């Protein structure tokens, strides 16, 4: 069996899907994308295809090593995301070849389902209380919200109070047992992160996510002095080598590698195992499409330290197309009581509606995140 073709589809709202076909007709799907840089990743996948055409798709580790090491320059969001989506599609093929879910080929399941959370509030968090109540009515037991809008290196306590008021409203709506993750989104610099972490302490957040940019991870040790809330990061970190220092220093409680960015399914499983050795939890990042979520769930199934899964159902980015729209059977992701079942089909466990993919690829997208500025005109972190 040899790899015959790679085909890419840029589909709304902001996704890139990859279809790999073998010479005996097996098909694997992956999701290689960087949000806002879909065309760049598409080109990277096309460049990497020269390492793949004519090769045995079952030799995933070898192909991964060739793509990662073969070009001399390595890592970063573009190259690693391209590699991640290819690797997902190869696992999809391998699972179908052996008629087994991917997790069975990675040691077997340690769980049948995993808890999930939904997003509320949008990029500029607003109406969070009403949004939380809707998620509770839908059966979810956890949500995540952005903490702030623009926040300068040193900013006003008015903005801090706005964060507290929003969080308090969600806590009131959900009660003590409702879990609330709060995403600083790298918008916050160290001085303000310390203040926010301390002020949020009485409201018991499920976790504080990316309190500073990953290039400033050394600040996490100091921020942790101001809160007992678990600190999470990792969505903008790549491969096990990118996580190595963070894990060794023991300065986070939750890692959030993205299976479409960090190196793929097996690489994320390796990162999860490294984290488990340091008594650190796993909560894969995934505000993406159904293929990426299916890949995450394969990792969750066989990773004992996974405790919750991000997913994009109803997220504010998904206007016009949502998570389930590209599946032949939307019930593949079986949501119940705040959990989602692990897909049981071969490979990634999802059947992609290729007709729908091709239809929407003719529409395409040019999604870019907004560019924000502070009141003084300087560029703000989004």
Count other Cβ atoms within 10 Å, centred on residue 368. 11
* Positions marked catalytic: 185, 285
Question: 177 falls in which pLDDT band (50, 70, 90)?
Answer: very high
Element (H, E) at 335: strand 335-336
In this prediction, residue 320 carries a pLDDT of 83
Instruction: Write out pLDDT tens, residues 260-271.
Output: 999 999 999 999
Count other Cβ atoms within 10 Å, centred on residue 328. 12
Instruction: Write out pLDDT tens, residues 337-348.
Output: 999 999 999 999
Measure the CA–CA gap between 357 and 364, rounded to whole angstroms: 10
Measure the CA–CA gap between 317 and 122, rounded to whole angstroms: 8
Higher per-residue confidence, 319 vs 369: 369
In this prediction, residue 155 carries a pLDDT of 97
Handedness of CA 163, 168, 170, 176 (dihedral sign): positive
Mean pLDDT of 175-184: 97
Helices (H), the chain: 38-48, 60-69, 76-98, 102-105, 128-137, 157-174, 190-200, 220-223, 239-249, 265-277, 290-301, 354-361
In this prediction, residue 351 carries a pLDDT of 98
Measure the CA–CA gap between 207 and 195, rounded to whole angstroms: 16
Mean pLDDT of 69-87: 96
Mean pLDDT of 313-326: 92
DSSP string, 287-329: -S-HHHHHHHHHHHHT-TTB--EE--TT-TT-SSS-TTTTBS-
Question: 319 falls in which pLDDT band (50, 70, 90)?
Answer: confident
Measure the CA–CA gap between 305 and 118, rounded to whole angstroms: 20
Contact 36, 368 (CB under 8 A): yes
Measure the CA–CA gap between 343 and 348, rounded to whole angstroms: 7
Instruction: Write out pLDDT tens, residues 225-258.
Output: 999 999 999 999 999 999 999 999 999 999 999 9
Instruction: Write out pLDDT tens, residues 24-47.
Output: 999 999 999 999 999 999 999 999
Higher per-residue confidence, 320 vs 158: 158
Residues of the chain with pLDDT > 70, as a percent, come to: 100
Average pLDDT in the chain: 97
In this prediction, residue 238 carries a pLDDT of 98
Mean pLDDT of 288-304: 98
Measure the CA–CA gap between 218 and 202, rounded to whole angstroms: 25
Measure the CA–CA gap between 23 and 228, rounded to whole angstroms: 54
């Amino acid at each position: 069996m040899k790899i015959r073709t790679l085909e890419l589809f840029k589909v709304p709202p902001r996704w890139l899907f990859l279809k790999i076909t073998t010479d005996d007709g097996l098909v694997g799907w992956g999701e290689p994308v960087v949000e806002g840089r879909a065309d760049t990743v598409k080109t990277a996948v096309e460049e990497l295809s020269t390492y793949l055409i004519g090769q045995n798709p079952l030799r995933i580790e070898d192909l991964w090593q060739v793509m990662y090491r073969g070009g001399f320059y390595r890592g970063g969001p573009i190259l690693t995301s391209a590699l991640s989506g290819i690797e997902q599609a190869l696992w999809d093929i391998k699972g179908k070849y052996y008629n087994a879910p991917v997790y069975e080929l990675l040691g077997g399941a340690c769980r049948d389902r995993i808890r999930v959370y939904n997003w509320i509030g949008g990029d500029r968090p607003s109406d969070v209380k009403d949004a939380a109540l809707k998620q509770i009515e839908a059966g979810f037991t956890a949500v995540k919200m952005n903490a702030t809008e623009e926040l300068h290196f040193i900013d006003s306590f008015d903005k801090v109070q706005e964060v507290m008021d929003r969080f308090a409203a969600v806590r009131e709506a959900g009660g003590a047992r409702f879990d609330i993750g709060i995403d600083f989104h790298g918008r916050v610099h160290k001085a303000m992160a310390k203040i926010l972490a301390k002020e949020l302490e009485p409201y018991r957040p499920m976790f504080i996510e990316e309190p500073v940019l990953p290039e400033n991870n050394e600040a996490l040790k100091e921020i942790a002095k101001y809160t007992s809330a678990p600190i999470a990061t990792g969505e903008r970190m790549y491969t096990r080598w990118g996580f190595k220092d963070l894990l060794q220093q023991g300065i986070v409680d939750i890692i959030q590698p993205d299976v479409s960015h960090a190196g793929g399914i097996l690489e994320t499983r390796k990162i999860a195992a490294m984290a488990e050795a340091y008594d650190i939890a796993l909560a894969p990042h995934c505000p993406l499409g159904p293929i990426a979520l299916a890949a995450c769930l394969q990792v969750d199934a066989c990773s004992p330290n996974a405790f919750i899964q991000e997913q994009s159902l109803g997220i504010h980015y998904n206007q016009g197309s949502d998570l389930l729209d590209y599946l032949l059977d939307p019930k593949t992701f079986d949501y119940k009581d705040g959990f989602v079942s692990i897909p049981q089909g071969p490979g990634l466990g999802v059947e992609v509606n290729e007709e729908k993919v091709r239809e929407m690829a003719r529409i395409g997208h040019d999604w870019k995140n907004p560019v924000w500025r502070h009141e003084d005109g300087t560029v703000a972190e989004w």
